[in-house]
Every structure is written in structure tokens, then in C-alpha cells.
Chains A and B, each alone.
Chain A
Amino acid sequence: MKLASKKAKVGFFSLSCCEGCVLAVLDLEEKLLQAFKQIEIVESRLLMEKVKPSALRLDIAFVEGSVVSKHDLNKLQYIREKSDFLVALGACATIAGIPGIRNALPPGLKEKIKRQAIKPIKEKVFPLTAFVKVDYLLQGCSINEQEFLDFLNKFLHGAKPRLQEVPVCFECKLRENACLLLKGEACLGPVTYAGCDALCPSQNVQCIGCRGFTNDANFESLDALFKEIGLSRKERYNLFTYFNQLPEQLKHLKGDR
């Protein structure tokens, strides 16, 4: 990418979500102003005074939220077409996150929600990767602000940003926390991508997987451990599907509900 002389054109877009991730970007305050030396925001509902859908091509599009409706899908495809680099922002966009809980509900409840929705919604809730090519993932609920800056920084310098492909335990050990699993409590740290500096276990709270499952997760072993600790099938199902979609290896947790 050649951006040396001109500013990168950037857009922020929200599909179905709470808009918390773009809010997290706003939270950067001073640091965001630093970044403005090198970027120009051409489209964003939250970051601009007047929103004018722009016909300009984008160097980077940040997209938060899940795809739950035809409307979301159309918008996503439109963004993809006009953007050189698309970044999925936050759990809703990367793993279907909180909206995705709908996928794990019992059939009756699912139907009820579909009927009550204000606009026609899709059978299931999807992350962006289900429909378009996603060039980079910024995981988490909400995103880690430092990670956002690091990504932007690398991107603007033409360096290849790297996914943080290590589990939460890696960072948890560096913070020298007492391990919850060893204390007989559940934790999704071993199967979840790090990058949050082990935020939850460092407060003595279990990791609930908001940064998505790793590509190397040993679900069977962790599930067996949870069982040993004394978690019921339902508790395990709920924990594994809190932010994430139930992995193939754990189908047995579904039961007959």
C-alpha cells in the first residue's frame, strides 16, 4: 500500500450491535488525534458531525456488528466493494458475539424473537466472515484500544499486522495470576485468543471467550476438565456459547433441550 504522502481514507460502520467498539475508538481521545496526522475519516455515524455517505473509495473500513438481517448484509457488501482493506471490529463482527446468543437458544424462543423483531431478520446471526473476505480481525467485547492503535500504526507504515495467535493463558501467566482452573473454577482462557492482557482472570473473573476461540483449541479436554470441576452440561453449554458458536466437537452439550 502506498500512503506515504496522502492521508489514508477510513470509514467506520455499524451493523447490528451496541456501537461499543467505535465508542472505544472515541475513548482514545488524545491518541486518536495523533492518528489523525495520518488518517482522514470519510464516513462514520459516531465520529462525524454530519454523516454523508461518501462515494470515495476507502483504504480501510472498520465494521462492527453482526449480520442479522438482509439490510445488514446489503450494507456489508456495499462496504466491501468500496474498501481496499476490511477490518472486523469486535466480537459481534468477528464471532457473532452477543447477538449470536440467539443461535444457541432453544427453538421455541428463537421463533418468538423472530416474530418480535422490528425488521425481518435472518434465520441465524452471522459474523462478517460468513459473507465477505475479512482482511483483519480486532477481537473482543469491546475491542482493546491499544490493539486498535497498534494495528492502525502498522498498517499505515506498510508493515504487516499480525494476529495475536496466543491463548489468554499466555498473557495470564505473564501477569502472574493465580490460575482459576487450578482453583477449581471454570475459565475459557486456554481456548480463547489473547490480546486483552488477560483482563478478566486478572480480576479473578473467568474468561468467557469474548475474543473468540483459537484455531488450536482442545475443546474436548477443557470440557472434560469443566465436568471434573463439577459444571453441569447446561452450565458448560452456556459458557461455551456465551460469545462463541458451539464448536463441532462439543455437539453433545446441546442435549435435547
Chain B
Amino acid sequence: MNYVLSKEDLAPFLAQLSKRFQVIVPAKNDSGIVTFQEFSGQEVCLETERLSSPKKFFRPAKEKIFSFAKKKEGYEVKPVFDKTKRVIFGIRPCDTHALQALDELFIRYYGLDQFYSSRRKNTLLIALQCTKACENGFCQSMGTSQAVGADIVFTERGDEFFVRPETEAGRAILDRKLFKQTGDAEPSSKISCKVSLETHNLAENIYRGFESPVWKQEAERCLSCTSCTQVCPTCYCYTTDDEFEFGSGSKSSRFRFLDSCQLKRFTTVAGNHMFRASRSSRLRQFVLHKFSYYQENHGMQLCVGCGRCISVCPTKISLVEIANSIQKQVLEGAK
């Protein structure tokens, strides 16, 4: 059974949920950016445009993973799992697909990453379908324009939401006073993206352009500022570091931090060898990881077409333009 919720009743619904969950909503921050933040009655922003994703609740910038203390013999290690009961409202279809890509790596492929899966297990997702195309997104090309794996799916329809519960857990949080049953068909959430990427044999064709001059041409503008990887909902790379307490007790914690392949530091290994010293090789790593390597290793794309990396790049580098022009080159060369 599906439901409708009047937009006026969204805030009361979220307020109700706040009693039992940490509720996360998209809302504008002080600098006018739409970010995911804890709900405390602020205006929920339904705009499609948003530079930040809910990644920070699954792969935070800084995450304590265990504490360790010196004992008479050896160390005592205590892992830290985030078990906060959370509801994320307003996650967009592309970002639900991003979580699928992360699940593949952190739950299925590497064996269980319990720090990630604990957050995942304890979070309910209320997806919000897009009814208007965003500036740089290309979810249609990537096949990510419909929400997956959400507990409830909302679609805007005039001054109300059409609500489709997808899981038992999702159904259980719908308040029967606010949500009215409906027999209507789901409103269409078909949009026309302004950006489009050629995806036929993408992984293979773009890899064949490994030596293309395009990488170098584009990288001349690249500032290696890492903005692209920071805002990407699927960039997961991290580094670890320890923090200690002063005094003799030797109580310490290990953290993991988001990292970025656009940094020289990231590509530096033992003996100070830098395996991707040139800027172009780092830019290429970003694009090939998204479109080629992940497909090869995991059978899925690591890019969900959200377009954020394009929106934030100060020098207007677009992975779509790069991929399209390399594919064109490769296919023309093959003729």
C-alpha cells in the first residue's frame, strides 16, 4: 500500500521521528550550501542542487575506530562502532546508488568492515526522487535515476509527497495519522539530464585511452585541490593515524581519515617512491577508477552520475567531457 503526505506535515513527521532517531535532513548551511544536517526544526530544502552528500554519515572525514591502552602485558584494544539510530531524509537516487557501490566494497568484497556496516545497519533511508534535473548530473546515462535500497521512497507531487514504503522498517515509522493511504499510481520521476555520457563499452573503451594526450591537456588546469574526490559520494579512500594522551598512561586512539588520490602524499609509498607523481596520472586515476577499474573488479560503476565533481571544480574540469572525448578518439582510431 502507498500513501500521501502533505508537505505541511513533513516537519511534524520529522519531529516525531526525532524522538526515536537522529534525523538528518538537507538544509542550507551558513554559507548557503545545501548540506545534510541534524533536524532541529530548520527548513528542509527540497532543491535538487546540493554539493554535499550523506557520505559523511557512512564514511566520515574523521572516524575513531578503536582505542588502545597499555596493560601489564600487551595492549587492550576496544573497537568503536557507531550504533546511532539514524534516519536520513531526502537522500537522492544517485546517492542511494553510491551506497550500493560502497556496500559492495565494505560489506561484500573486503569481508565485513564493521565500522561501516554498523552505520549502515542502524540507518534508515527515506529517498526523495528527483523531479527536476540538477545542473551537472548525468544519472540517466549511469542508470541511477531511480532510488534503490531505500526504506521509503518519496516523490513530490504538487503540495504533497507520494510515499512508497519499501521495507518493513520503513513501513513501521509511517505515522497513520499523517500518512493517508492512496490507490493512485506513482507520479513520474522521469527527468532530462543536461549532461550525457556515452556508456556503451565505457569501461573498456576508456581504458584503451590510457595513453591518450587528453589526460595531460586537462591536467594542465588541474589544481590537485582534491575538491572533486572530497564531494564524490563514492570516494572512500582513507588513511589512518593515532592520537595519544599526555602523561604516562599511554591511552590512545586510532582514527581513519578521508584521503584523496589527487594528492602526492597519497601516491607516496615506502622509500619515498611516488607512483603517480604527475598530475595527469592522478587525474586519470580518478576517472579510470570511476569508469573502468571498479567495473572490472566489482562489475559495477563507481560513478553514479551526481555531477558534483563537475560543479565544484574551480577550473571546470569535467570527467564526462574527458570520458566522451577519449572514447571518441579511441573509436575513431579503431576505424
Interface residues of A (CB under 8 A from B): 34-35, 37-38, 150, 153-154, 156-157, 159, 162, 165-167, 169-170, 173-174, 176-179, 181-182, 189-191, 204, 215-216, 218, 220-222, 224-225
State the total of A-B contacts with C-beta under 8 angstroms.
96
Query: In this complex, what residue of A is CB-closest to B265?
Result: A165
Determine the chain B residues whose CB is within 8 A of the CB of A174 once the complex forms.
61, 230, 258
B242:A167 contact, CB within 8 angstroms: no
Interface of A (DSSP majority class): helix
Asked if B201 lies at the interface with its beta carbon under 8 angstroms from chain A, I say no
Determine the chain B residues whose CB is within 8 A of the CB of A189 once the complex forms.
225
Determine the chain B residues whose CB is within 8 A of the CB of A181 once the complex forms.
314
Determine the chain B residues whose CB is within 8 A of the CB of A216 once the complex forms.
224, 263-264, 279
Q: Which of B26-34, B88-96, B298-306, B320-328 contacts A (4 or more CB under 8 A)?
A: B26-34
A154 to B244, CA, bound (A): 7
Interface residues of B (CB under 8 A from A): 29, 31-33, 35, 51-52, 61, 220-227, 230-231, 241-248, 250, 252, 258, 260, 263-265, 279, 312, 314-315
A34:B223 contact, CB within 8 angstroms: no
A34 to B248, CA, bound (A): 11
B226:A166 contact, CB within 8 angstroms: yes
Contacts A170-B230, A190-B223; A38 near B241 (Cβ below 8 A): no
Q: Which 9 A-B pairs have the closest CB atoms?
A: A173-B230, A169-B225, A190-B223, A190-B225, A181-B314, A178-B31, A165-B265, A34-B246, A174-B61
B230:A165 contact, CB within 8 angstroms: no
Query: In this complex, what residue of A is CB-closest to B52?
Result: A176
A40 to B248, CA, bound (A): 15
Determine the chain A residues whose CB is within 8 A of the CB of B220 once the complex forms.
220-221
B247:A176 contact, CB within 8 angstroms: no
How close is B64's CB to chain A, nearest CB, in angstroms? 15
Interface of B (DSSP majority class): loop
Determine the chain B residues whose CB is within 8 A of the CB of A162 once the complex forms.
241
Determine the chain A residues whose CB is within 8 A of the CB of B225 once the complex forms.
167, 169-170, 189-190
Determine the chain B residues whose CB is within 8 A of the CB of A159 once the complex forms.
242, 244
Determine the chain A residues whose CB is within 8 A of the CB of B258 once the complex forms.
174
Determine the chain A residues whose CB is within 8 A of the CB of B243 once the complex forms.
150, 153
B226:A37 contact, CB within 8 angstroms: no
How close is B142's CB to chain A, nearest CB, in angstroms? 22
B230:A38 contact, CB within 8 angstroms: no
Determine the chain B residues whose CB is within 8 A of the CB of A170 once the complex forms.
225-226, 230, 260, 263
How close is A39's CB to chain B, nearest CB, in angstroms? 9
How close is B50's CB to chain A, nearest CB, in angstroms? 10
A169:B226 contact, CB within 8 angstroms: yes
Q: Which of A34, A166, A176 contacts B51 (CB 8 A)?
A: A176
Determine the chain A residues whose CB is within 8 A of the CB of B242 once the complex forms.
154, 159
